[in-house]
Amino acid sequence: MVLVRPKKGAIVDLLWSSDGRYLAYTRLRHPDYWPEGSRLMVYDIRSGRSRRVGFGGARSVALRGYTWVSPTELAVSTFRRRDDDGHMNGFLVRYDVRRETCRPLTDGSGRPLVGVTPTASADGRRLAFVTFTDRKQSGSVKDNLRVLDLSGGSAWTAVTLDDYAEAGCRLDHPLISADGRWVFVAATASDVGFIPSIYGVDGTVRASRRWGQMFGGAAWDPADPDRIVYAGAHGLEHVRGGLFSWRAGTRRIVNGMRVLGFIYGIDWSPTGIRIAYLTDTGKNTSLWVATRDGGERHRVARGVGLPAWARVVLPQSR
């Protein structure tokens, strides 16, 4: 089952817990001011109720990503003041949805961690996130890909990128593999340009490709821990997007996944048998579902928003 939202709706970033009981999502205070004023909500499928996530009484003005670290806990990056230049670290916290409690996310020494865009491995062992080095300390802002061992608490820097020295690139869109060995990163340098890379959590470069355009998201294959699919354009006309499969250091276009327009909103079914994605031709938005190799695909709906595969069968609304 695919869950979608209205295109102009103020709900984004739907994320199911691994057992399918909880759905985390962001409710925007105003769509034109995201992420300022955004609220993190959790829907409980058993009770049918949604509630707003509290941060222990601390003021939260914006979110910069969240991820499930266990079936009942979220790791969240939250801000207590507005991030005007895009290089401010958020406070990383751990929220228990059952107890409705919040505590700082810390390393092994008990030191609170800061950063943005956290992403957890499906096995719950590791968490990857991005931190920014203060310009006042180093003379320039440096993007650091950090990794936290959730069981032992040790944290380390896997990759550091000076976004002034290296063509203005920034580490963005990190996504850790299910087994916690690899992290996909789209290094962005403009509104449309990006460089896709895969790093080992020890900092080794597994794969890096040339410039692409129109990055539309990425998703690790749940049936193959070494395969990731991402959306963008490589060696194609600027107006033609595609889905690219990356495995064992090789990249290829997924069969038939090339469209006149933009592809985004990729989401695998829980078993990896099918993949859902959106296409935007500039005139309309369509939701598609395809087999894992792209051999069979069909349009599900038009004029809809981001898809999210449900982990369980949702109760029908009355």
Domain positions in the chain:
214-311
Instruction: Give 40's Cβ-side CA count (13 Å radius).
Output: 28
Q: How much is the pLDDT for 173?
A: 84
Q: What is the pLDDT of residue 85?
A: 55
pLDDT, residue 55, reads 77
| pTM (predicted TM-score) | 0.86
Listed in sequence order, the DSSP H helices in 69-120 are: none
> Which residues, 6 or more positions from 13, have their beta carbon under 8 angstroms from its beta carbon?
24, 25, 26, 66, 306
Provide the 3-class DSSP secondary structure of residue 152. Answer: coil
pLDDT tens per residue across all 318 residues of the chain: 445 444 444 677 889 999 989 999 988 766 554 556 678 999 999 999 999 888 765 566 678 899 999 999 999 998 876 655 556 788 999 999 999 999 999 998 899 999 999 999 999 999 999 998 765 455 566 889 999 999 888 999 998 876 434 556 677 789 999 999 999 998 876 666 788 888 899 888 777 766 778 888 899 999 888 889 988 877 655 556 788 888 755 666 676 567 767 888 889 998 899 999 888 887 788 888 988 887 788 888 887 777 788 776 555 544
DSSP letter, residue 214: -
- Kindly state the DSSP code that residue 77 receives in the 8-state scheme: E
pLDDT of residue 7: 44
Burial of residue 44, with CB atoms counted within 10 A of its CB: 0-12 exposed, 13-18 middle, 19 or more buried: middle
Q: Is CATH 2.120.10.30 the right assignment for the domain spanning 214-311?
A: yes
